[in-house]
């Protein structure tokens, strides 16, 4: 008479383990999704900062450095240095965090 109860109990324990496993998998998926969102946000913030630095570098090379060289150079040398510095394209930094 104990056998049917034993089988039912084993089946209930198997179902309980299966439910627990499904809950753990859902929790892991939720954690991974949250971490991915955080990494994407940090990547976007880093990309914004890198873009600002690229603009700052370009402004320095095309404006500040040119005006600084005009005091030390004159004539065609100053014009050539200014043209070369102003022709340098803005750097394009990309975030390694994607």
Summarised one tens digit per residue, pLDDT across range 17-38 is 999 999 999 999 999 999 999 9
For 88, which DSSP code?
A: S
| Model pLDDT for residues 65-87, shown as the tens digit of each residue | 887 777 777 788 888 888 888 88
Cβ atoms within 10 Å of 87's Cβ, excluding its own: 9
pTM for this model (two decimals): 0.65
Q: How far is CA 95 from the centre of its chain?
A: 5
């Amino acid at each position: 008479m104990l056998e049917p109860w034993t089988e039912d109990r084993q089946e209930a324990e198997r179902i309980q383990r299966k439910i627990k496993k499904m809950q753990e998998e859902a929790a892991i998926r939720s954690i991974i999704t949250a971490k991915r969102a955080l990494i994407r946000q940090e990547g976007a913030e880093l990309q914004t900062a890198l873009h600002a630095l690229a603009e700052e570098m370009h402004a320095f090379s095309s404006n500040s450095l040119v005006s600084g060289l005009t005091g030390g150079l004159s004539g065609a040398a100053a014009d050539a240095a200014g043209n070369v510095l102003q022709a340098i394209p803005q750097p394009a930094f990309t975030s390694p965090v994607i």
